[in-house]
C-alpha cells in the first residue's frame, strides 16, 4: 500500500474511532474534521507534501496556538495527528512530513457565501483560510470527510481569479518582510528558506490560476504555469521549485538559491499586478 493510501486509511480509522470516544469531542468544541490539500487531491508527494487537516469548531475566531490550548480541540487534533505522524516516522524518511492544521469557526464557515462574495469582498477577509475563498474550487472538488458534518454544504465557489489581486497584496507584504530580513546568516536559515519556498509556490499557483489553470495539483499547475504565463526574468526557477517539491530536496547553495528565489517571487508578483 502506498504512503498516501495508508495515511488516508489511518485518518479514516481515527474518524471512525472518534465516534466511540465521545469524551474527546466536547460537543461545544469540534463540529467536523476534513482532509484537504494534496492528500485529498491525490497529489501527495512522499518527500515533499504535508498532511492538511481542517477542523471546524465552535470556539470563536482565535489564534491557532490559543485554540490548541483548549482541551476539547487539542484532544481531537492529537487524536488525528498522532497516528499520522507515527506513520510518517515509521517510513524512515530523512524529513518526515508535517500535519498542517487549519482551524475554522463554524460561524465563519456558515457565512462563507456572504463574506467570500467578490462583489463585497474586503481586505480583512484575507485572514480567512484560503481553502474557503481563493481555493474554494479545490476544496469543494477534493476533500475527505473524516468526522462530523461535511463542511462543503456551506461553501460557495466564486471565480478564483476574482481574488488574485487581493491575495497578491498579502503576499507582497510577506515578500517585503523577507527581503528586509536582517543578517545574511539569518536569511539563509532553514526556517527562512522554508518561508521563501511557501511564498514562491503560492505565487506560482496564483499566476497559473490567474491565467486560467483549473487545478492546484503541483505537477499540473507547474505545467500550465509554463504554458500560460508570459515570460519574465526568473521564470525558469519554477522548474527548480517543482523538482524540489517532487523530490523533497534542499538547495545545495542556499545563497544562490535565495537570490534566484527572490528574483522569481518579485518577477511573478510584478507580472500578476501588471496583467
36: its cell numbers: 484537504
Architecture of domain 3-158: 2-Layer Sandwich (3.30)
Residues linked to residue 32 through DSSP beta bridges, in sequence order: 56, 148
Question: Is the distance from CB of 105 to CB of 32 less than 8 angstroms?
Answer: no
Give the pLDDT confidence score for residue 9 in this predicted structure.
Answer: 95
Query: Could you tell me where the DSSP H helices lie in 91-157?
Result: 106-110, 112-115, 136-141
Burial of 166 (0-12, 13-18, 19+ CB in 10 A): middle
Give the pLDDT confidence score for residue 94 in this predicted structure.
Answer: 53
- DSSP codes joined into one string, 237-260: HHHHHHHHHHHT---SSHHHHHHH
Does the predicted TM-score (pTM) go above 0.95? no
Locate the DSSP E strands across 90-134: 99-105
pLDDT tens across the length of the chain (275 residues): 788 999 999 999 999 988 766 555 555 588 899 999 999 999 998 877 889 999 999 988 888 899 988 888 888 899 999 998 888 777 666 556 788 999 999 999 999 999 999 887 765 565 678 889 999 999 999 999 999 989 999 999 999 998 898 889 889 999 998 888 665 556 678 888 888 999 999 999 999 999 889 899 888 889 999 998 888 878 889 999 888 888 878 888 888 899 999 999 999 999 999 87
Give the pLDDT confidence score for residue 120 in this predicted structure.
Answer: 79
Amino acid at each position: 500500500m502506498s504512503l498516501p493510501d495508508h495515511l488516508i486509511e489511518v485518518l479514516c480509522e481515527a474518524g471512525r474511532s472518534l465516534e466511540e470516544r465521545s469524551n474527546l469531542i466536547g460537543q461545544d468544541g469540534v463540529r467536523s474534521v476534513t482532509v484537504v490539500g494534496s492528500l485529498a487531491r491525490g497529489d501527495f508527494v512522499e518527500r515533499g507534501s504535508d498532511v492538511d487537516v481542517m477542523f471546524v469548531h465552535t470556539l470563536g475566531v482565535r489564534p491557532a496556538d490559543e485554540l490548541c490550548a483548549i482541551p476539547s480541540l487539542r484532544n481531537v487534533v492529537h487524536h488525528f495527528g498522532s497516528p499520522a505522524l507515527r506513520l510518517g516516522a515509521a517510513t524512515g524518511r530523512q524529513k518526515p512530513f508535517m500535519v498542517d492544521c487549519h482551524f475554522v469557526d463554524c460561524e465563519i464557515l456558515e457565512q462563507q457565501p456572504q463574506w467570500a462574495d467578490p462583489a463585497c469582498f474586503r481586505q480583512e477577509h484575507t485572514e480567512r483560510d484560503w481553502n474557503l475563498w481563493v481555493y474554494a474550487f479545490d476544496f469543494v472538488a477534493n476533500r475527505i470527510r473524516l468526522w462530523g458534518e461535511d463542511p462543503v454544504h456551506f461553501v460557495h465557489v466564486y471565480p478564483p481569479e476574482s481574488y488574485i489581486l487581493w491575495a497578491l497584496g498579502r503576499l507582497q507584504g510577506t515578500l517585503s518582510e523577507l527581503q528586509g530580513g536582517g543578517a545574511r546568516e539569518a536569511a539563509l536559515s532553514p526556517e527562512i528558506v522554508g518561508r521563501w519556498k511557501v511564498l514562491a509556490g503560492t505565487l506560482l499557483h496564483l499566476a497559473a490560476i490567474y491565467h486560467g489553470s483549473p487545478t492546484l495539483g503541483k505537477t499540473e499547475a507547474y505545467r500550465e504555469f509554463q504554458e500560460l504565463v508570459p515570460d519574465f526574468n526568473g521564470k525558469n526557477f519554477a522548474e527548480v521549485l517543482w523538482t524540489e517539491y517532487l523530490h523533497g530536496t534542499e538547495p545545495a547553495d542556499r545563497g544562490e538559491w535565495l537570490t534566484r528565489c527572490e528574483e522569481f517571487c518579485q518577477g511573478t508578483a510584478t507580472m500578476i499586478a501588471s496583467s
